[in-house]
Structure 1
Amino acid sequence: MEEEMLKCKRLFVSDMDGTFYLGNTLLPGSLDFAMAVHRLGARLVFLTNNSSRTPEEYIRKLEKMGVDRKLFQVYTSGEATISFLKRDFAKKKAFLLSTPSVREMFEKGGVMLDDFDPEVLVLAFDTSITYEKIRRAALLIRQGIPYVASHPDINCPTEEGPIPDVGSLISLFETSTGRRPDHIIGKPDPAILKMVMEDFDCSQEETVVIGDRLYTDIECGLKAEVDTFLVLSGETTRDMIPDRHSYKVVENVGSLAKKIRDHDTV
C-alpha cells in the first residue's frame, strides 16, 4: 500500500510551481502536506527548476503564504548550475542570462561573470530579458562558445496561465543558431536529485519525488529509481498519462497528506 510505503520515507523532494503553489496561492492541501511530512519526522525539500529566483527569495515567498520555515528547505536549478560551472568550467568567465538577484547569487557563489569576453554562456530563467541580451547570446552561441542551460522547462505555470520558460528560449536560440545547449542541468537529469539525496544522506529507498510535469519531475524520479508521485494540480492532465506507467498518480499533495495521516491512524 502507498500509505505503508510513505511511512518509510525520510526525504520528500517536491516541485513547487504547479505542485505546491500556483503563482502566489497555495494549492489545496499544500500546508497539510508540509505538516504531515514534518510529523512523520521526514524532511521536505523543494527542488525547483525555476531559476528566476534565489533560494532565499523562495523561502520568503513561502513564508508569506503561511508556510513555517521549519517545515521545508529549497534547492534550485540555479544552485546546481553554479556547482556544475565550478566543477566543469572552473575559473571560466560566463555570460549569464538571469534576473539581477540570481546574477548576484552566481557572483557570490564564485562564478566569474563577463558580458564582454566570456568563455561560456549560461541560460537561466531571465524574466528581465531584453532583445539586447538575446542578440548577444545568439551571437555567442553561433560562435561556438560552450552553452549551458539551467533547466529545460518550456513553460512556467502562473495564475494567469503558462508563460515561456527556459525551454522556450532554448527553442528560440536553436531556431536562430541551429544549436542546442551542450549541458542542461535541472530535472530530468537525475544528478540534481542525487545532489539533494547526498546532502541529506538519504538512500533511494528513503526518498520520494513529487511533481506535476511528466518530462521533468516524473522523469527525474524514475531515472533516479525512486518512488515517484505525479500530481494533477499543474501542467499534466489525466488524459496525458500513458496507459502504462510506473509512477503513482494523485490529485494533489493534499492527497499525499491524507495517505500519511491514514497511516498514522492505523
Structure 2
Amino acid sequence: MERDVDCWLTDMDGVLIHENKAIPGAAELINQWRDKNKPFLVLTNNSTYTPRDLSARLARSGIDVPEDRLWTSALATAAFLKDQSPGGSAFVIGEAGLTTAMHEAGFIMTDADPDYVVLGETRTYSFEAITRAIRLINGGARFIATNPDVTSPSAEGVLPATGAVAALITSATKRDPYVVGKPNPMMFRSALNKVGAHSMRTGMIGDRMDTDVVAGIEAGLHTVLVLTGIADRSEVERYPFRPKEILDSVADLLEDDQQSKNAKRKEDKGSDASA
C-alpha cells in the first residue's frame, strides 16, 4: 500500500482509544511517528479539556502524546478568533479547555457588550448563562460554536452537547453560529498551520464518515477511515464520497520494523526500573 504522507492528523476517540482503553497499535503508531520525526497532531472536537488534561488521559491509556501534539476545537476556535479579531472580547460558555484557549489567544472575557458569544462543551449548562448569551446575540454579538455535536456520552447515558444548546440559542435569536470544529475543514487547516504542513502531504485518520472523512476531503488531505469506532464498511456505501483508504485499525499503519523498536523500548524501561 503506497503512501506519500509527511504529516499525520488523527482523531482520538474511536481511533486511538475506546472507553479510555488504548486501541491495539495506537501507542505503537505514535511511537513510530516520533521515532521518524514525523509531524503529527491528535485532534478532538471536545472543547472541555486542555491539552494537558488530554495528554494525561492518553498517558493513563498507555499512549504517550505530548501536550503540544494535541489540537482541540477550543484551540481551533481561539486561533480562528485571534485571526479575525485580535485582542477582542467574548462571552464564553464552556470549561477550562475553552476558557484557557481564549485567554491564551489574548481575548478579554466579559458579559458587557462582547464582540462574540462563544459556546463550547460543559456538563453544567446554566439557564442564566444561556439567557445572557441570547440577549447578547440579539444585541449584536457574533455567535460562534466550537463544534456541532448534539450529544456527548456519559456513564449514565447521553448528555446534551454544544450542538443541542446552539440550536436552542438559534431558535431564540434566529442567528446560526459559525461552527469551527469538524466537519468544518477550518479545524484541519488550523492544525496544518500549527505544524507547518501542506495538505497534499498530510493524512487524516478518523472513524466517522460525516466528520473526519468529509472534512479531510474538503481540506485536501489523504483520508484514512478505521473501523474501530463509529463507521463500518456498510456505512461507507451510504455516502457519495469515499476515503482514500479503509483499514481495520491504526495497527495497519505500522511499519515492519516498529514491533522490534517497541520491544526494545519496553526492555529499556524494564532495565531502568530494576536499576
Using structure 1 for the length normalisation, give the TM-score.
Answer: 0.84
TM-aligned CA deviation for residue 9 of structure 1? 1.8
Aligned to 2:5: 9
Q: How many residues align?
A: 258
Percent sequence identity over matched residues?
29
1:214 is aligned to 2:206: no
Letter in 2 for 1:203: H
Letter in 2 for 1:235: I
SS of the equivalent of 1:261 reads: coil
Find the aligned partners of 2:210 and 2:229 in 1 and give their Cα distance: 13
TM-aligned CA deviation for residue 27 of structure 1? 2.5
Q: Is the 8 A contact 1:156 1:165 kept in 2?
A: yes
Aligned to 1:185: 180
Find the aligned partners of 1:66 and 1:119 in 2 and give their Cα distance: 42
Ranges in structure 1 where 5+ consecutive residues have no aligned partner: none
Alignment of 1:98-117 (within 5 A): 98-117=94-113
Match of 1:235 among 212, 217, 230: 230
Letter in 1 for 2:249: N
Match of 1:254 among 243, 247, 251: 251
Q: Is the 8 A contact 1:23 1:157 kept in 2?
A: no
Alignment of 1:12-31 (within 5 A): 12-31=8-27
1:202 is aligned to 2:173: no
Q: Is the 8 A contact 2:90 2:110 kept in 1?
A: yes
Q: Is the 8 A contact 1:17 1:156 kept in 2?
A: no
Letter in 2 for 1:206: R
Taking a change above 3 Å as real, the CA distance of residues 237 and 231 of structure 1, as seen in their structure-2 partners, is same
Find the aligned partners of 1:263 and 1:108 in 2 and give their Cα distance: 37
Find the aligned partners of 2:67 and 2:120 in 1 and give their Cα distance: 27
Q: Is the 8 A contact 1:22 1:159 kept in 2?
A: no
Find the aligned partners of 1:21 and 1:229 in 2 and give their Cα distance: 16
Find the aligned partners of 2:10 and 2:151 in 1 and give their Cα distance: 18
Q: Indicate the larger mover: 81-90 or 162-171.
A: 162-171
Letter in 2 for 1:223: E
Alpha-carbon deviations, 1:185-227, whole Å to 9, x = none?
1222223322322333322332100112222211111001111
SS of the equivalent of 1:199 reads: helix
Taking a change above 3 Å as real, the CA distance of residues 146 and 231 of structure 1, as seen in their structure-2 partners, is same
Could you say which structure has the larger radius of gyration?
2
Q: Is the 8 A contact 1:36 1:261 kept in 2?
A: no
Question: Cα RMSD (Å) of the superposition?
Answer: 2.8
1:168 is aligned to 2:164: yes
Letter in 2 for 1:241: V
Q: Is the 8 A contact 2:40 2:195 kept in 1?
A: no
Alignment of 1:50-61 (within 5 A): 50-61=46-57
Find the aligned partners of 2:156 and 2:23 in 1 and give their Cα distance: 15
SS of the equivalent of 1:53 reads: coil
Taking a change above 3 Å as real, the CA distance of residues 35 and 71 of structure 1, as seen in their structure-2 partners, is farther
Find the aligned partners of 1:186 and 1:49 in 2 and give their Cα distance: 6
Find the aligned partners of 1:253 and 1:144 in 2 and give their Cα distance: 46
Alpha-carbon deviations, 1:213-243, whole Å to 9, x = none?
2222111110011110112222323332225
> Greater relative contact order (Cα 8 A, min sep 6): structure 1 or 2?
1
TM-aligned CA deviation for residue 249 of structure 1? 1.8
Q: Indicate the larger mover: 73-82 or 95-104.
A: 95-104
Aligned to 1:85: 81
Q: Is the 8 A contact 1:210 1:230 kept in 2?
A: yes
TM-aligned CA deviation for residue 25 of structure 1? 2.0
TM-aligned CA deviation for residue 261 of structure 1? 3.2
Find the aligned partners of 1:43 and 1:94 in 2 and give their Cα distance: 32
TM-aligned CA deviation for residue 129 of structure 1? 1.9
SS of the equivalent of 1:229 reads: strand
Find the aligned partners of 2:179 and 2:166 in 1 and give their Cα distance: 10
Find the aligned partners of 1:102 and 1:56 in 2 and give their Cα distance: 13
